[in-house]
Amino acid sequence: MENHTTMKVSSLNCIDLANDDLNHSVVSLKQACLDCGFFYVINHGISEEFMDDVFEQSKKLFALPLEEKMKVLRNEKHRGYTPVLDELLDPKNQINGDHKEGYYIGIEVPKDDPHWDKPFYGPNPWPDADVLPGWRETMEKYHQEALRVSMAIARLLALALDLDVGYFDRTEMLGKPIATMRLLRYQGISDPSKGIYACGAHSDFGMMTLLATDGVMGLQICKDKNAVPQKWEYVPPIKGAFIVNLGDMLERWSNGFFKSTLHRVLGNGQERYSIPFFVEPNHDCLVECLPTCKSESELPKYPPIKCSTYLTQRYEETHANLSIYHQQT
């Protein structure tokens, strides 16, 4: 049983994107990536007023009647609305899916674009502009801004991996990335002893995730996934800061050098809103051991895999089959 009387809080490194001392930022980032793969990012250039507006618009979407939200149900390109219990991230410990609703928004690619047939590109379903005026414009602007911040972090990551600063900027990597934001609303009370979670324990699939949250506690990390029993620590939200974590793809790319860490969300009865922004390289990027992460004594641990193959596999493992919704209508 978990002990709820003491709340263990994690202390994470904080990366200041406005810091002129690049070396200090890189050292601090590298330490965070080796330790737990979670860190805060401040002075990223997105104003608090705009962030408040994005959260306000997110709340408006989730406040709509279910039938209105089902009009923009998640499609085969993983865009749109995901109902409560749609996602099951920790089948060993969860009795049913996550107690959260979500809305995926990816890079907008029109049908006449040559890249339209790629699994993670395509048009986004948008709520009717009469129902939510200005909603699409706000979300598209946020997507653009979050991608800009991600690129700045990727340059620091490259330096922390002893690569050239622009290593990940190339077209076959983040020059034409897969970048997907997800609006989330959590509700209810979690009870790990009964297998009920707002969001089950998991590590993220991709390269990195930028998380914007409201002020409600709920996110927990487990720095050592192999420990028995696992020790969970809360990550407190800091106003104006992103919580950034590395995903499994970067752990694989770095030959296990950088860490992708287990995390979960526990609900305390309060509504909690968050917006993760998932960053992955180009569909065709071959994720294989980075040149600085292997040596004669440190051989590659993972076989090369194409980014889109890997992601498709991971999405299918964790989301309900869309056909269940068509049976319900």
Predicted pLDDT at 144 = 97
CB 111 within 8 A of CB 120: no
pLDDT band at 5 (very low <50, low <70, confident <90, very high): very low
Indicate whether 240 pLDDT > 80.
yes
Q: What one-character DSSP code corresponds to residue 50?
A: H
Amino acid identity of residue 257, one-letter, is F
Q: What is the pTM of this model?
A: 0.92
Predicted pLDDT at 66 = 92
CB 198 within 8 A of CB 307: no
CA 72, distance to chain mean position in Å, is 21
Indicate whether 241 pLDDT > 90.
yes
Predicted pLDDT at 2 = 45
Predicted pLDDT at 320 = 63
Predicted pLDDT at 256 = 94
CB 287 within 8 A of CB 252: yes
CB 161 within 8 A of CB 263: no
Tens digit of each residue's pLDDT (9 = 90 or more) over 188-229: 889 888 888 889 899 998 999 999 999 999 999 999 888 888
Indicate whether 26 pLDDT > 50.
yes
86-90, 157-161, 203-207: which has the minimum mean pLDDT?
86-90
pLDDT greater at residue 143 or residue 114:
143
Predicted pLDDT at 7 = 73
Indicate whether 279 pLDDT > 90.
yes
pLDDT band at 6 (very low <50, low <70, confident <90, very high): low
CB 80 within 8 A of CB 104: yes
pLDDT band at 48 (very low <50, low <70, confident <90, very high): very high
* Closest CA relative to residue 272, chosen from 194, 179, 193, 199: 199
How confident is the prediction for the chain on average, in pLDDT? 90
Predicted pLDDT at 323 = 62
Predicted pLDDT at 86 = 65
Average pLDDT over every residue of 288-309:
94
DSSP secondary structure string for all residues of 128-180: -TTTSTTHHHHHHHHHHHHHHHHHHHHHHHHHHTTS-TTGGGSIIIIIS-EEE
**For the ranges 91-95, 144-148, 171-175, the one whose mean pLDDT is highest:** 144-148
Largest CA distance in the chain: 62
Pairing of strands 100-105, 80-82: antiparallel
* Closest CA relative to residue 78, chosen from 61, 98, 60, 103: 103
* Closest CA relative to residue 54, chosen from 279, 186, 212: 212
Structure token digits, residue 42:
């401040």
Residue spans per domain, the chain: 14-327
Q: Which CATH superfamily is domain 14-327 in?
A: B-lactam Antibiotic, Isopenicillin N Synthase; Chain (2.60.120.330)
CB 242 within 8 A of CB 17: no
Indicate whether 328 pLDDT > 50.
no
